Amino acid sequence: MFPIKHFAQEQRLIESNFKGIFKAEVQLKYLLYLPVDYSKNNKFPLLLFLHGAGERGDDLSLVKKNGPPKLIEQGQDFPFIVVSPQCPVNKRWDTKALIALIDEIVNLYNIDEDRIYVTGLSMGGNGTWRLATEIPDRLAAIIPICGWGDPFDICSLGRLPVWAFHGAKDMLVPVSSSQVLVDRLNYCKGNAKLTIYPEADHDSWTETYNNPQIYEWLLDQRKSQR
């Protein structure tokens, strides 16, 4: 079982900044969490968390509103290195910038590249789907929550393990947005499953991120197993 540990309040999320040049210069602020037993002598899995539209801006405290950063701030420990970037205001997730950020974290820390995971909610769920279609061979698994994407691109994920979540009463991003992607991916011989919360609206992420089983499932997925 995935252990849920809680510790006294302390500075557990490190604020940092990444700058890279692609077609244009892009800068991402991000929160970094290192496991309590992190050592440069051992490799650790990486979890990239993508927030929703409401947390965009240049105030990193907004990123702590939901998901793993919220739980870490409350004292929960994770066996992953957790990187939580902040999307600039009025932008959507730039997949090229996210790929460069992953490269930077891999260079700076002892990352197990067999276990790189991505998760996100709402706009971050969309970012999770889009990022996975661009680098399916680098990822071990993804968990998109109340997200959406392009079903015509989805078969590029191949056998990448996907566990999607959605609320049946979501009026902002209809549950069909996840259902069509999961169905299309499995039609293409993919490896996807969808959990639908019958009574949940757009906030299907609180219950999901509070569920230890999703972290157990992630840790069971390795890129080399596909």
For 94-140, the pLDDT digits (tens) are 999 999 999 999 999 999 999 999 999 999 999 999 999 999 999 99
- What distance in Å separates the CA atoms of residue 33 and residue 47, rounded to the nearest whole number? 10
Is 5 part of a structural domain of the chain? Answer: no
- What distance in Å separates the CA atoms of residue 204 and residue 120, rounded to the nearest whole number? 11
Do the strands 25-33 and 81-86 form a parallel or antiparallel pair, or are they unpaired?
A: antiparallel
Is 164 part of a structural domain of the chain? Answer: yes
Q: How confident is the model at residue 40 (pLDDT cuts 50, 70, 90)?
A: confident
Q: Answer yes or no: is pLDDT of 180 > 60.
A: yes
Helix axes 95-108, 123-134, angle to 10 degrees: 70
Q: Answer yes or no: is pLDDT of 11 > 70.
A: no
Q: Answer yes or no: is pLDDT of 1 > 70.
A: no
Do the strands 161-167 and 191-197 form a parallel or antiparallel pair, or are they unpaired?
A: parallel
The total of structural domains in the chain comes to 1
Q: In sequence order, what E strands does the chain have?
A: 14-21, 25-33, 44-50, 81-86, 111-121, 141-145, 161-167, 191-197
Provide the pLDDT for residue 18. 55
Provide the domain limits for residue 76: 14-219
Provide the pLDDT for residue 184. 98
pTM strictly above 0.75: yes
- What distance in Å separates the CA atoms of residue 56 and residue 51, rounded to the nearest whole number? 8
Residues with Cβ within 8 Å of 174's Cβ and at least 6 positions away in sequence, in order, are none
The average pLDDT across 136-159 equals 97
Q: Answer yes or no: is pLDDT of 20 > 90.
A: no
Do the strands 25-33 and 44-50 form a parallel or antiparallel pair, or are they unpaired?
A: unpaired
Provide the pLDDT for residue 13. 73
Is 57 part of a structural domain of the chain? Answer: yes
Q: How confident is the model at residue 19 (pLDDT cuts 50, 70, 90)?
A: low
Is 9 part of a structural domain of the chain? Answer: no
Terminal CA-CA length for the chain: 23
Is 204 part of a structural domain of the chain? Answer: yes
CB 13 within 8 A of CB 31: yes
The two three-digit tokens of residue 135, written as one number: 């680098």
Q: What is the CATH number of the domain that holds 125?
A: 3.40.50.1820
Is 97 part of a structural domain of the chain? Answer: yes
